[in-house]
Amino acid sequence: MPSARARTHRDPVAQSAPSGRTGRAPGAVLTLVALFLVAINLRAAITDVPPLLTSIRDDLGLSGAAAGVLTAIPVVSMGVFAPLAHRGAARYGYERTVAASVVVLLVGVLIRLGGASVVPLFSGTLVAGAGIAVLGAALPGVVKTHFAERAGAVTGLYSAAVGVGAAGASALAVPLSDAFGSWQLSLGVVAVPAVLGLFAWLPVIRRAKPVRTDPSRAGTTDATAARPTGRTPGSTKPTPAPATAAPDTSPWRRPVAWILAVFLVMQTSAYYGVVGWVPAAYEEQGWSAERAGLLLSVFGLTGIVSGLVIPLLADRFADPRPLFAVTVAGAVVGMGLLAFAPNLAPWPTIALLGLTLGGAFPLMLVMLVRFAPSPAAAGRLSAMTFLIGYPIAAALQIVFGTIHDATGDYTAVFGVLFAMTLVELVVCLGLNPKHARHT
């Protein structure tokens, strides 16, 4: 049994973990399944828009800059609303916060059904983006709470789910629009996985303990508060305390947090640059909307592979920099081909970008867990990183739309993204694990 001190000094967020259960308990399998179904929704409501962007622009008379705003809204939402994840988790627990975020996402998708005008389309996208923001920032805390010893494997699992949702939404967007005779109804289909994910998550909430803040924790760090002093309930051996725990200071004071934030700016700009502009770019070259949309499906499907494999490899590497370097170097090559030789080998180029950009993001998510001493700290680090990274990346999407309006094609847009992946390659070399532990 835990000692009296362990019972008194618990991390209030960590108390949302199921009573008497750990990542090895039988309920962990059901939690993993629910996590997979929930994570499918992290990109689906975003990637269903670009294949339909030409139709939406023609129907609503949007300029390139306005289209850039539409693609930027969910990205900026993921930064602005991400801090709500930690606040919600501290008060209600990560499990309930995840459920609430899926409900918000569902509401936003339903608002978009009235997207025959700009207002419901843009406002629904904003609300859906808010739900995605909180969900994305909460999931690293869920992993830290339930599966800290297998962070890479579990991150890979839900990253694969993200790829499934992203690829499926982009592949089905145009066919469903043609079948329904309405791009609005096509956008509304992503409500289905949101409902499924929500129902799958309800048992996870029922197994979670209610969160109660202990006043005696004042002045106690999450690292010391969450550390048990005996056997972990449901485990067969004592849980050792780390030899040198990272000081649980504000992420705003940690250099590694700023490195991760800058990395996220570059990675997200490249990822959403592909998602937002590749279909339209190839449509301008004479491709059909359905064929151009299939490019994003390839992008998403190859991202599933790297999203599974790279986080697993991260568990075997004490120093993540070699993995980051190889992954980002591949993105540099792919973006260079897209910028300077788009018709040389479009399908292999998009597949390479899916493998590399799709692998870089979950690798960063593993770092958000690894560089945090507790679930609460993981939530704060995620919120700070997202708050900086996503709004800047979103603003750049508007810039890209303006560049297209000024130049008349997408060559300059992908040229800028190529330069950003070069910066990303340099930045990732600063993720020294020793440096991170002592900041």
Strand partners, 238: 231
417: confidence class by pLDDT, cuts 50, 70, 90: very high
pLDDT mean over 215-232: 37
Please tell me the predicted confidence (pLDDT) of residue 170.
80
Please tell me the predicted confidence (pLDDT) of residue 414.
92
115: confidence class by pLDDT, cuts 50, 70, 90: low
Please tell me the predicted confidence (pLDDT) of residue 329.
93
Query: Is residue 349 over pLDDT 90?
Result: yes
- Within 13 Å and on the Cβ side, how many CA atoms surround 200? 20
How is residue 308 written in tokens? Answer: 């599974």
DSSP secondary structure string for all residues of 347-396:
HHHHHHHHHHHHHHHHHHHHHHHHT-SSHHHHHHHHHHHHHHHHHHHHHH
* Helix intervals (H) in 48-117: 53-60, 64-80, 83-92, 94-111
Give the whole-angstrom CA distance, residue 151 versus residue 312. 9
Residues shown for the chain: 439
Q: Which of 77, 122, 108, 160 is nearest to 365 (CA)?
A: 160
Asked whether 79 and 394 are in contact (CB, 8 A), the reply is yes
Q: Which residues of 346-384 are buried (b: 16+ CB within 10 A; e: fewer)?
A: beebbbbbbbbbbbbbbbbbbbbbbbbbbbbbbbbbbbb
397: confidence class by pLDDT, cuts 50, 70, 90: confident
The mean pLDDT of the chain is 78
Q: Which of 93, 429, 67 is nearest to 279 (CA)?
A: 67
Asked whether 312 and 153 are in contact (CB, 8 A), the reply is yes
What contacts 179, CB < 8 A, 6 or more positions away?
none
Please tell me the predicted confidence (pLDDT) of residue 24.
45
Give the whole-angstrom CA distance, residue 228 versus residue 10. 8
What's the angle, vertex CA 192, arms to CA 186 and CA 196, rounded to 5?
A: 165
Please tell me the predicted confidence (pLDDT) of residue 210.
61
Worst-scoring range by mean pLDDT, 60-74, 230-244, 327-341? 230-244
